[in-house]
């Protein structure tokens, strides 16, 4: 692990990332020394820095550090955490911010071949995401809603939870975005009020020009012919059930899994 470019395991206890969650992160899947979605990760990170007014890190430096921490790992997830750094006490922005940069590599979370082939089981979470347009879309460090959502169940057969907003619109899963084929149309929720705009979601939208972002209700989701999750870490994961609704992975899901293979991700792919 690197903290500000130096091998270290600890950060200042006065860092605003700890004090206020005042920062951003990215979790990037690497295959050896390749990161197929790198450019999209950097786009989102720099947009987040701009919106939070945190000085942007240099992507070339991040890339060198990503390679350094993941050296000798055939598969890895590199997490960047960028905070506003240590500062004076209080919420006011430091006059001369010195952001903190943490770069760490992890073994990717296991996803079974069965999950890619047949799909995973979802539940609907009880928590409703609060609507904050100023923070929507970016991957900031204020993630208590996701922690509370994930704490709602401990049945290992349930892989993910569907998150709704306070107006009962479907937004995403707790750690992935969500797509549904509704009446033949590929749809994913708009994320201008809450949620994280995943880079895998952006990739799907880029390669499926027929896909649309908009409002997705639970009834629409239940009536969908295909549902899948997108994640930069896990790739394209079909959904086989949501409560008592069942789905079969369809042509769109399979095409996108193939696209993920073509990008260079060597995940197990079903179908």
Residues in the chain: 271
The DSSP string of 111-175 is --HHHHHH-EEEEEEEEEE---TTTTBS-BS--HHHHHHHTT---TTEEEEEEEETT-BEEEESS
Using CB under 8 A as the criterion, which residues of the chain lie in contact with a copy of itself when the complex forms?
1, 3, 8-22, 25, 52-53, 77, 79, 81, 83-84, 89-93, 102, 104, 106, 109, 127, 130-132, 134-135, 140-151, 166, 174-175, 194
Residue with smaller CB distance to a copy of itself, 161 or 238: 161
User: Going by DSSP bridges, is the β-strand pair 245-246/235-242 parallel, antiparallel, or unpaired?
Assistant: antiparallel
Shortest Cβ 114–a copy of itself spacing (Å): 20
Shortest Cβ 247–a copy of itself spacing (Å): 24
Q: Are 232 and 36 in contact (CB under 8 A)?
A: no
Residue with smaller CB distance to a copy of itself, 16 or 169: 16
SS3 240: strand
Q: What is the dihedral of CA 155, 158, 162, 166, to 10 degrees?
A: -10
Shortest Cβ 32–a copy of itself spacing (Å): 21
Tokens of 141: 């460090």
Shortest Cβ 119–a copy of itself spacing (Å): 20
Shortest Cβ 249–a copy of itself spacing (Å): 24
Cα–Cα dist 8/260, whole Å: 34
């Amino acid at each position: 692990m690197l903290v500000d470019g130096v091998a270290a395991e600890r950060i200042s206890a006065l860092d605003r990332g700890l004090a206020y969650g005042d920062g951003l992160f990215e979790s990037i899947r690497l295959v050896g020394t390749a990161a197929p979605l790198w450019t999209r990760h950097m786009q989102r990170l720099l947009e987040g820095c701009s919106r939070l007014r945190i000085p942007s890190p240099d992507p070339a430096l991040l890339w060198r550090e990503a390679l350094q921490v993941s050296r000798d790992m055939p598969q890895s997830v590199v997490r960047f955490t960028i905070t506003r750094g240590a500062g004076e006490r209080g919420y006011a922005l430091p006059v001369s911010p010195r952001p903190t940069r943490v770069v760490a590599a992890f073994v990717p979370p296991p996803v079974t071949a069965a999950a890619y082939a047949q799909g995973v089981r979802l539940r609907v979470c009880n928590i409703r995401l609060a609507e904050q347009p100023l923070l929507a879309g970016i991957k900031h460090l204020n993630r208590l809603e996701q922690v509370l959502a994930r704490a709602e169940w401990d049945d290992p057969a349930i892989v993910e939870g569907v998150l709704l907003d306070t107006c009962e619109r479907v937004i995403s899963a707790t750690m992935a975005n969500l797509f549904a084929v509704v009446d033949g149309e590929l749809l994913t929720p708009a994320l201008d009020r809450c949620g994280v705009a995943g880079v895998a979601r952006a990739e799907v939208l880029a390669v499926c020009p027929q896909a649309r972002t908009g409002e997705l209700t639970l009834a629409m989701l239940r009536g969908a012919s295909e549902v899948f999750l997108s994640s930069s870490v896990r790739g394209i994961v079909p959904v086989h059930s949501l409560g008592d609704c069942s789905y079969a992975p369809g042509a769109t899901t399979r095409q996108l899994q193939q696209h993920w293979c073509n990008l260079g991700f060597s995940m197990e792919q079903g179908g």
